[in-house]
Structure 1
Amino acid sequence: MNNVKLFYHYLMTHFLKLCSVPLMAVLAMKASRLSPNDLQNLVLHFQNSPVIVAVFFAVVVFLSTLYAMSRPRPVYLVDFSCYLPPPHLKVSLQSIMDHAAKYKRNAKDEKSLEFVRKILERSGLGDETYLPEPLLCVPPRQTIAAAREETQQAMFGALDNLFENAKIDPRDISILVVNSSLFNPTPSLSSIVVNKYKLRGNIKSYNLGGMGCSAGVIAIDLAKDLLRVHRNSTYAVVVSTENLSLNMYTGYNRSMLVSNALFRYGGAAVLLSNKSGDRKRSKYKLVHSVRTHTGADDKSFRCVNHEQDETGKTGVSLSKDLPLVAGKALKTNIAALSPLVLPTSEKLIFLTNFIAKKWFRAKIKNYVPDFKLAFEHFCIHAGGRALIDELEESLKLQPADVEASRMTLHRFGNTSSSSIWYELAYMEAKGRMKKGDRVWQIALGSGFKCNSAVWTALRNVKPSKNNPWEDCSDRYPVKIDL
């Protein structure tokens, strides 16, 4: 059956090419039958009609120019960098529990600790994730100054490595987009980056806040739009991070304690270019970015909420409906993305299934397209084991397809909007990214949003210097008890 489907896929994908073969054969046979006199008469006809020839070539040149000018500028990913915190910030699951036990005061604390322990045991996180310095202090430093220090270390660490690897002067950057959902100080994080690297005075800088774990793809989409309308060839930098210091929950609400167990320290910086000359040195080309929002639905809107509990303590509440809401948002995004990426063979099957159910009331299951015909690699946001499970099942993927997501969750935890870049770095470190391979980055976040970015590898991609998996890729994948 698999061989039949594969044959059908290739047949439909190359249908036009196959149809053109007999047409070309017929034209070649007719051309071969032309006598020398026929060819000479044809040449004389064109020589005696210079106006027609001139008009024909003028129309061709005009249409070619119009087509070239109307096409959007390609956007290239020159390089990216993921922040690797220093070794002393590495924490094991047991060390987290030992640290939290120091603040145990009563029976309620004991119950909360037991709940967090169970979450950690089932989370899919390993013993080498990272927490920021302020949360490892006794007592934790939950101040604006500590939060700014934490975020700056992640942003500057990723940016320093990116600029060094890409061999770029920061003053050549014309567009800057920084996203952090829960920490938005004044001056803004984008202004902090501008000040640190003394970026040009006319830079277009943007600071995205409150957009959750999907904000990284939103930032890429914004940078893409700006690069495509920018008059001159230029660079854009996207920085994705999240802050933990100010947002560690210290109460007893279980829906808020889950965030404490899953989120970890990290960040990423991405260099984009619209320069045609950068194609040769770039890693990827951005093919599509698709954003969908289900926030009109109240259940979706409230499933991830930054709020205070009944005692006034602040935290991020995760609803029990999150997997269901995520699945709904994913379906909405798939509906928008599928026509852009799926081969003709899958579109025809999907259309047939839709017509059979809608018009003929056929009692058949909804057809789930085979996305492995459209993509070689998948970067599913490492939001948690349940989220990865949900997307693996919804998209009918195999364990190998979600390996990068599970290993990223195990090694780095949920680093929010930057997790999809740790996953891409994993694939590069394992030597799996070949020229022409297509990558689908899927991110979900509060609101509720599901966003996709599709990239094509421009060469056999090798890991950049200081890849976050540099010292441990040989130990992965590891077996995780599911």
Structure 2
Amino acid sequence: MEIVLIRYLSFTNLSAVTKFPISLTHLLAITALIIAVICFTFRSNPVYLVDFSCYLPPDSLRVPTANFIEHCEASNIFDQECIDFQVKILERSGIGFESCMPIAVHEIPPNNSFYQAQEETEMVLSTIVKDLLSKHNINPKSIDILVSNCSLFCPTPSLTSMIINKFGFRSNVRSFSLSGMGCSAGMLSISLVKDLLKVHKNSVALVLSMEAITPNGYKGKVKSMLMANILFRMGGAAILLSNRKQDKHKAKYKLQNLVRTHLGSDDQAYQSVFQQPDESGKVGVSLSRELLHVAAKALRTNISELGPLVLPYSEQLRYGWSVIKQKIWFSTGQKGTYVPNFKKAFEHFCIHAGGKAVIDAIEDNLSLHKEDAEASRMTLYRFGNTSSSSLWYELSYLEAKGRVKKGDRVWQIAFGSGFKCNSAVWKCISDLDPDLRNSWSDRIHLYPVEIPKVCDH
């Protein structure tokens, strides 16, 4: 049997018809080959989260409120008005007495030198890398991709180079060091690795996420810049990812969705978290009054893209009908736009522990229950704002509590300067053992605790 293919050729007003006899068997084979190539090209490679490790600072680095006040007064850096302001904010911050700061900040006056900043980053990153690799008996030379993120400390050689040198990674390891990306940089690192794993098959990636506290203490009088002195604390996380089939059976989670939102084109959003010198030349990070408004706007934009990917159709229809009613009817008694029930899409929520007000606002905007934000509040209380690594302390909390079950979905919500809101959705694909050691294991039986509106010191 023959199939006649007709090809029209044109050249200077000339046309010709050419006939090619092709058997049906050959045509079917070619069609199948084309379909296979298309499927192979556009298939999504899985990204497995094998495991992660969070830095647990020694108790000797704890900064209770009383110590913070004494340190401020003894350093002779701030006037009484600045001290009183910082104490007032700290008492209401939701941060407890167990959060830690690096050793250089404990000195009087604080030592913010480059050398001390390097010591802090090396101590944090080396500890979590060693812990994670030894836990799974992984040779550093088997790591194919290495990504670090640290916003406010960017030395040369880079932080990834420091780790490559210390642990002896391969010479052809693909390394990237991200800086200036704010508290959402951890999710950006995951996004970068996700894209790299699409290209590089059978690869293992290591993500290192932290913020350096040592070099970034603000010593001026601008209140919006003093906030950073109070909220940020020492911490870091190492995350092991893979797209290898053999890692599926030992991986904890599989990446389902990752959505990034950047509102940098809006001046108010761009300037809401901003590093700059004050009038006296002292550099600090300013947190504007509009920060919560900007974060809410960024979250709405982010979930408008994430929602259709994760919400059941019933919730999408209710939301759509609510929007239509808002457009058509303008009666004063009309309720606001329906807020989708994200508990139908996720079992667990990890909200960036940037501050008590941030957690409260997101909990309210998403109509969540107190337990849904428990991991975020307890992380803020025990560890403070550890910037990009806070989401991993929260996931550690949920694991240590034994709440994450196979099949559960976890929504990580990160916020950062720029202004950015990034979401990652993970599906648990293993039976997790809550007794395995992590950053919460030593004290998980003491949590949750009741956090007072004003902490006593």
| Common fold: TM-score over 0.5 | yes
SS of 1:81 mapped into structure 2: strand
Q: Deviations over 1:44-70 (max 9, x none)?
A: xxxxxxx99999899779756753553
Q: 2:117 aligns with which of 139, 147, 170?
A: 147
2:413 pairs with 1:442: yes
> d(CA) in 2 for partners of 1:240 and 1:318?
22
Question: Which one is further off, 234-243 or 53-62?
Answer: 53-62
2:270 pairs with 1:298: no
CA pair 65-334 structure 1, distance change in 2 beyond 3 A = same
Shift, 1:251, TM fit: 1.2
Which residues of 2 match residues 169-180 of structure 1 at below 5 A?
A: 169-180=139-150
2:398 pairs with 1:427: yes
The alignment of Structure 1 onto Structure 2 pairs a total of residues equal to 429
> d(CA) in 1 for partners of 2:452 and 2:291?
22
Whether the aligned pair in 2 keeps the contact of 1:237 and 1:271 (CA below 8 Å) is yes
Shift, 1:103, TM fit: 1.8
In the alignment, which residue of structure 1 is the partner of 2:126?
Answer: 156
Task: Name the amino acid aligned to 2:450.
Answer: K
In the alignment, which residue of structure 1 is the partner of 2:42?
Answer: 70
In the alignment, which residue of structure 1 is the partner of 2:295?
Answer: 326
2:452 pairs with 1:481: yes
Cα RMSD after superposing both structures:
1.9
CA pair 332-260 structure 1, distance change in 2 beyond 3 A = same
Shift, 1:91, TM fit: 1.9
Whether the aligned pair in 2 keeps the contact of 1:178 and 1:207 (CA below 8 Å) is yes
2:321 pairs with 1:349: no
Q: Deviations over 1:265-322 (max 9, x none)?
A: 0000000000011110000000011000011110110011111111111111110111
SS of 1:123 mapped into structure 2: coil
Which residues of 2 match residues 77-88 of structure 1 at below 5 A?
A: 77-88=49-60
Q: 2:249 aligns with which of 252, 267, 280?
A: 280
Per the normalisation by structure 2, the TM-score is 0.90
Shift, 1:465, TM fit: 4.9
Shift, 1:460, TM fit: 2.1
Shift, 1:462, TM fit: 2.4
Shift, 1:466, TM fit: 4.0
Task: Name the amino acid aligned to 1:357.
Answer: Q
Runs of 5+ unmatched residues, structure 1? 1-50
Q: 2:378 aligns with which of 407, 429, 450?
A: 407
Whether the aligned pair in 1 keeps the contact of 2:152 and 2:179 (CA below 8 Å) is yes
In the alignment, which residue of structure 1 is the partner of 2:346?
Answer: 375
SS of 1:187 mapped into structure 2: coil
Per the normalisation by structure 1, the TM-score is 0.86
Question: Which one is further off, 187-196 or 67-76?
Answer: 67-76
Question: Which one is further off, 347-356 or 414-423?
Answer: 347-356
> d(CA) in 2 for partners of 1:464 and 1:57?
54
> d(CA) in 2 for partners of 1:400 and 1:117?
28
Shift, 1:481, TM fit: 2.1
In the alignment, which residue of structure 2 is the partner of 1:255?
Answer: 224
Question: Which one is further off, 364-373 or 461-470?
Answer: 461-470
Task: Name the amino acid aligned to 1:280.
Answer: H
SS of 2:451 mapped into structure 1: coil
> d(CA) in 1 for partners of 2:183 and 2:382?
18
2:451 pairs with 1:471: no
Q: 1:202 aligns with which of 157, 172, 186?
A: 172
Report the identity percentage.
Answer: 50
Whether the aligned pair in 2 keeps the contact of 1:78 and 1:273 (CA below 8 Å) is yes
CA pair 270-463 structure 1, distance change in 2 beyond 3 A = farther
Q: Deviations over 1:348-394 (max 9, x none)?
A: 11111122223455644111100000000000000000000110011
In the alignment, which residue of structure 2 is the partner of 1:398?
Answer: 369
Whether the aligned pair in 1 keeps the contact of 2:75 and 2:108 (CA below 8 Å) is no
Q: Deviations over 1:240-266 (max 9, x none)?
A: 000111100111111111110110000
In the alignment, which residue of structure 1 is the partner of 2:12?
Answer: none
Runs of 5+ unmatched residues, structure 2? 1-22
Whether the aligned pair in 1 keeps the contact of 2:261 and 2:422 (CA below 8 Å) is yes
